[in-house]
Structure 1
């Protein structure tokens, strides 16, 4: 049965709900497993939308790669039984064609697809002329431009309802999470595209159910618009990503443990205090910028002195001395080592650029 314009509009409005809560199994395995899980989730009264993987891109061949198109009628039936909209991941034009044929309410583009502009463009072309909302997961590598580019490709194809999903990034040396959160990247996307809903997928960030609550709370504290959490009737027996899924009952317990915060309030006392504190930050930021400008002026003088004496710009021993001094001083002031290293890396690079312009005034240094 084809969806009516009113039903389509209702789903589009739902994607703007805050908080938007999406749940369902990582993969549709059998019709009975999917329907049982979805009905349990609906009975909690806490879920706005159901999800399930039909096509599962795997890192290596040989693993379970999804049940395929035959799982789409199961999702249709889940919608009929629960009254909840359903969403599915698409990675190719054929996935889009099949999903639209079975009237999936919402689609999402996965991280392995977002990383490839050719794949995103192919999906975007297949979506031309449709009204289906589409969420875009961040690319697997930490690249905001790829993520933003995917949004632009869908928008140019005429997709009007676009959302973002933060599911973490592959990161060398990351040991705690399956995919490092790198919160600064979704925050940057939210800054660039504040009109788009941004939800968090703690399941794929964590890879372990014991970490889900902490990551979900962090997302709420950062004013994300919702959560996508994987749930399975029997997680330990799941055919994919068993360790990161929770039962519908445990999903409710997780949601109950969260503190749902608000972006702002109309309480005048709060607004007055906040305005004063923000004014203090503005003044401090102005002072910091003045100090950095003064530091760069000294760096340029050093560059002039090095040029006159044929000395190289980079001085490794001095750089190590600055880092060690900065880390030790920062620790005494309550600043983390990671922050200090990132701060001095940025300062050092700008100092090198300034000195390079002194030594090579005709060179265009960016």
Structure 2
């Protein structure tokens, strides 16, 4: 497992971890895992043993008695197993039953005390540990969790992107916010990065699109939930698929390799990237000029006792920019987000002028 996920080569196929959201019965775990192994697409088996639920009335997992089921599944299939841990006792139990891979869940990643407890329990045991992003989009918590594990001596630490809680979001159970895992990969390029489409989507019909986008972005693979009878699963029924459906989903994904070393390809890509560099430089120059004008406006407002925020003017700017953006293929959402950042910087500049 370590060589497959932590020492990846450019031509290595995407890594897939799959299994039920929750271990329910021994029969369910064994049948699911054997059918997953039969697909030939799975490199590791997962199952939830302890389930952190929002309310105590929800199914909180079978607990430690489910670990021997996973151990048996590994013996039958020859595949390593993966389990989520949230406490030192979870770690101890998993190690006692020979679980191969541990992962830190989103709720736990957001609690430094819990992450430290897990890290301390793993000191001296170099088992692979995957860290899911925290529920809320706080990148430093994600980085901090990785650092705590590494400081405990763990050398095989990876990342799992499972999306972020977003108020008012309707398209996903957890918004992907792809720029955040991309930033994590930029900061920690040596760590493998998997995607968890099941928790991002929350439903079956969009799993393939998210799994494909992860591969398009250079992720090392996916973690997907699979159940022999998804509609009757004891937890997260809507986002689980049968092993056979999972096989078809994985088979249809397009696997894009890392850049080759062919000179023609490298030269063409270098040329396009240089165009991007030049355009970015021009944009920075234009933004600098825009902010200089904003400061002049700030001085005029100060001299004439006008408020910084002029709502009607802002609406005019936004509407005009969205029309112009649409004419060159930019979405309204992108234009709004871009202008919001520019507008905030303009306000900050004008406020400094007011205070001077």
TM-score, normalised via structure 1 length = 0.93
Partner of 1:48: 43
| The one of 81, 84, 100 aligned to 2:95 | 100
| 2:223 is the counterpart of 1:233 | no
Partner of 2:3: 13
CA deviation digits over 1:262-285, x for unaligned, max 9?
Answer: 121123332222111111111111
Partner of 1:326: 321
Give the SS at the match of 2:41: coil
| The one of 236, 254, 262 aligned to 1:259 | 254
* Structure 2 residues not aligned, in runs of 5+: none
Moved more, 32-41 or 305-314: 305-314
CA deviation digits over 1:247-302, x for unaligned, max 9?
Answer: 11111100111110012112333222211111111111111011001101111111
| The one of 49, 66, 90 aligned to 1:71 | 66
Give the SS at the match of 2:58: coil
Partner of 2:353: 358
| 2:184 is the counterpart of 1:189 | yes
Give the SS at the match of 2:27: helix
Query: For this pair of structures, how many residues does the alignment match?
Result: 351
Give the SS at the match of 1:229: strand
Q: CA deviation at 1:320?
A: 1.5
Give the SS at the match of 2:65: helix
Give the SS at the match of 1:185: helix
| 2:109 is the counterpart of 1:114 | yes
Partner of 2:330: 335
> Structure 2 CA distance, aligned partners of 1:170 and 1:283?
36
Where does 1:150-229 land on structure 2 (aligned, <5 Å)?
150-229=145-224
Partner of 1:127: 122
> Structure 1 CA distance, aligned partners of 2:264 and 2:208?
31
Give the SS at the match of 1:181: coil
Moved more, 328-337 or 65-74: 328-337
> Structure 2 CA distance, aligned partners of 1:237 and 1:321?
52
Give the SS at the match of 2:268: helix
Partner of 1:3: none
Partner of 1:298: 293
Q: CA deviation at 1:14?
A: 2.6
> Structure 1 CA distance, aligned partners of 2:246 and 2:42?
10
Give the SS at the match of 2:159: strand
> Structure 2 CA distance, aligned partners of 1:237 and 1:312?
59
Q: CA deviation at 1:81?
A: 0.9
Where does 1:25-64 land on structure 2 (aligned, <5 Å)?
25-64=20-59
CA deviation digits over 1:150-201, x for unaligned, max 9?
Answer: 1111111222111000111111111111111111111111111111100001
Give the SS at the match of 1:228: strand
Give the SS at the match of 1:15: helix
CA RMSD of aligned residues (A): 1.2
> Structure 1 CA distance, aligned partners of 2:169 and 2:30?
36
